[in-house]
C-alpha cells in the first residue's frame, strides 16, 4: 500500500479542480493506493511537507469550482545535479511518506518540472512514478488536441465580448473599444473573440502574437472603420509584438518579470488606446479582461469538464501500470476524442502557436478556427447555486 501525491502548478483554470476530482475518484478504486495527499502550493508543498489529506474528503462541487483548490506555485528548478539539495529533499520526502505515485497538473513549465523530477528518479534508480496532467487556458501545450481549461475560457470570452458588443452599439456616436485578452506567445484565447460573429456580433479587428503588429496600419484601419460606422471594436492579445519581435507592452515605463523570468504582461490595450487618442483624437476605452478569463466558473463547457476529469483518471491508470515520464494528452481520431500519452520531453517548455493559416489579413480569424472550437464549447455544465451565486468547494 502506497501514497499518491497530487500537485497543481502555474496559473489556475476553471477546470483544474475537475482533473483533481478525476484523479481522486480513480485513486480511491486502486488497491495499491492507501493514502491520497494534495500538495499545498505545488512543489513548495512537497519540499516543505505541507500536505492536504484527500483520501476520504467529500468532493461535492469540486469538479465545478474554479481556481486551484490546493493552491499553486511558480517554482522553477534546474535539472539535476543543479539544485541538488532540492532533489535530495524530494527523495527524502518520498521515502518518509512512502510516496510511489506523483501527479502534477499544470502547463508548459509544470511539465518541465515533472520531467526533471522523473529524470532524477531514473538517474538515481529510485522507484517512483511521475505523470503530468495538462492544464492551461492558453491552449499552447504541444501534442494535445486541446488543453483542459481552454474551451471554458473561450466560452466566457465569447460571451463577454458579445455583451460588450451590444453595449458599444447603444449610442449613435460611439468610441473605439480595445479589449485585451491573455496570451503571451500564442493567440488562442484572442481568437475566441471571433465566435460572436456567428451571431452577427462582429469584432472589427483581431490581433494575435503570431503576426507582427503594425502600429501605423492599425491606426489607418481604426480611422477608416470609425469614419464608416462611428464605432470600432478591437481585440488584442496581451503579447502582441512589433516587426522586431519586441512586445508592444515594452513601451510601458515600468516593466517587471515573473518568477520564470517572463515579462509581466498586462496593459497593452492602454498603450494602444493612448495612440488612438493622441494620433487620431478619437474617443477610446481600454478593457483588460484579465483574471476572469481563467477563473470564471459559471460558463463551464461540458467537453472541457468531462475531459479534465478523464485526464485526471487516466493519470492514475498510467501510474498503476508503472508508466512514468508522460503527460496525459487528448487526441482526435475519426472525429472522436480519445485519451493518450506523450513523453514529457515533447511537451516541457514548448509552445503550440495559433495556426497562421487561420489568420486572415493579419487582423481576422478564419472559419477553420470556428470549426475547431465550436464542438468544444457547444454544451454547458449545470452549476449548483447557493445564496444566489455558484456554490464552490472548500477544504
- Predicted pLDDT at 1: 80
**Contact status, residue 188 vs residue 150, Cβ threshold 8 Å:** yes
Residue range 83-135, pLDDT digits in tens: 999 999 999 999 999 999 999 999 999 999 999 999 999 999 999 999 999 99
Instruction: Give dist(CA 149, CA 110) in Å, integer.
Output: 15
Strand 129-134 to 205-207 pairing: unpaired
- Predicted pLDDT at 376: 98
Residue range 238-295, pLDDT digits in tens: 999 999 999 998 765 455 555 445 555 779 999 999 999 999 999 999 999 999 999 9
**Contact status, residue 162 vs residue 377, Cβ threshold 8 Å:** no
Q: Which helix (H) or strand (E) holds 267?
A: none
DSSP 177-201: EEEEE--SS--HHHHGGGGGGGGT-
**Closest by CA position to 116, among listed 158, 161, 77:** 77
Architecture in CATH of 2-136+300-350+384-390? 3-Layer(aba) Sandwich (3.40)
Residue spans of the chain under pLDDT 50: 253, 259-260
- Predicted pLDDT at 253: 46
**Contact status, residue 232 vs residue 205, Cβ threshold 8 Å:** yes
What is the set of active-site residues? 138
Which three three-digit cell numbers place residue 380?
Answer: 454547458
- Hey, do 2-136+300-350+384-390 and 150-295 end up sharing a CATH topology, with the first three levels equal? yes
Query: Percentage of residues in the chain with pLDDT exceeding 70?
Result: 96
Q: How far is CA 101 from CA 84, 104, 108, in A?
A: 21, 10, 21
Strand 51-53 to 33-39 pairing: antiparallel
Which three three-digit cell numbers place residue 34?
Answer: 492507501
Q: What is the dihedral sign for C-alpha 271, 273, 274, 279?
A: positive
- Predicted pLDDT at 74: 84
Domain positions in the chain are 2-136+300-350+384-390, 150-295
**Contact status, residue 110 vs residue 104, Cβ threshold 8 Å:** yes
Q: Report the DSSP beta bridge partners of residue 343.
A: 326
Question: 150-295, what's its fold?
Answer: Rossmann fold (3.40.50)
Amino acid at each position: 500500500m502506497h501514497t499518491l501525491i497530487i500537485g497543481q502548478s502555474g496559473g489556475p483554470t476553471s477546470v483544474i479542480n475537475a482533473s483533481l476530482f478525476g484523479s481522486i475518484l480513480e485513486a480511491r478504486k486502486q488497491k495499491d493506493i492507501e493514502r491520497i495527499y494534495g500538495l499545498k502550493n505545488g512543489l513548495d508543498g512537497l519540499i516543505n511537507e505541507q500536505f492536504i489529506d484527500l483520501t476520504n474528503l467529500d468532493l461535492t462541487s469540486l469538479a465545478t469550482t474554479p481556481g486551484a483548490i490546493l493552491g499553486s506555485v511558480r517554482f522553477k528548478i534546474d535539472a539535476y545535479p543543479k539544485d541538488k539539495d532540492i532533489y535530495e529533499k524530494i527523495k527524502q520526502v518520498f521515502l518518509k511518506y512512502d510516496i510511489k505515485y506523483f501527479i502534477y497538473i499544470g502547463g508548459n513549465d509544470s511539465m518541465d518540472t515533472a520531467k526533471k523530477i522523473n529524470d532524477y528518479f531514473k538517474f538515481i534508480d529510485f522507484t517512483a512514478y511521475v505523470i503530468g496532467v495538462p492544464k492551461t487556458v492558453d491552449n499552447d501545450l504541444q501534442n494535445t488536441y486541446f488543453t483542459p481549461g481552454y474551451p471554458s475560457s473561450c466560452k466566457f470570452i465569447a460571451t463577454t465580448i458579445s455583451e460588450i458588443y451590444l453595449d458599444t452599439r447603444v449610442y449613435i456616436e460611439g468610441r473605439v473599444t480595445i479589449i485585451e485578452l491573455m496570451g503571451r506567445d500564442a493567440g488562442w484565447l484572442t481568437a475566441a473573440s471571433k465566435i460572436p460573429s456567428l451571431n452577427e456580433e462582429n469584432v472589427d479587428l483581431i490581433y494575435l502574437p503570431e503576426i507582427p503588429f503594425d502600429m501605423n496600419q492599425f491606426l489607418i484601419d481604426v480611422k477608416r472603420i470609425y469614419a464608416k460606422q462611428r464605432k470600432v471594436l478591437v481585440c488584442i492579445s496581451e503579447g502582441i509584438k512589433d516587426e522586431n519581435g519586441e512586445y508592444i507592452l515594452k513601451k510601458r515605463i515600468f516593466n517587471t518579470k515573473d518568477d520564470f523570468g517572463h515579462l509581466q504582461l498586462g496593459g497593452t490595450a492602454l498603450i494602444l488606446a493612448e495612440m488612438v487618442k493622441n494620433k487620431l483624437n478619437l474617443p477610446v476605452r481600454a478593457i483588460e479582461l484579465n483574471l476572469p478569463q481563467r477563473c470564471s466558473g459559471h460558463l463551464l463547457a461540458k467537453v472541457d469538464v468531462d475531459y479534465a476529469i478523464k485526464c485526471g483518471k487516466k493519470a492514475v491508470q498510467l501510474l498503476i501500470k508503472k508508466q512514468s515520464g508522460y503527460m496525459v494528452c487528448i487526441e482526435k481520431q475519426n472525429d472522436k476524442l480519445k485519451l493518450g500519452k506523450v513523453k514529457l520531453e515533447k511537451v516541457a517548455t514548448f509552445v503550440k502557436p495559433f495556426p497562421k493559416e487561420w489568420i486572415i489579413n493579419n487582423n481576422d480569424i478564419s472559419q477553420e478556427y470556428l470549426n475547431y472550437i465550436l464542438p468544444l464549447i457547444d454544451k454547458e455544465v449545470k452549476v449548483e447555486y447557493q445564496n444566489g451565486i455558484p456554490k464552490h468547494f472548500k477544504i
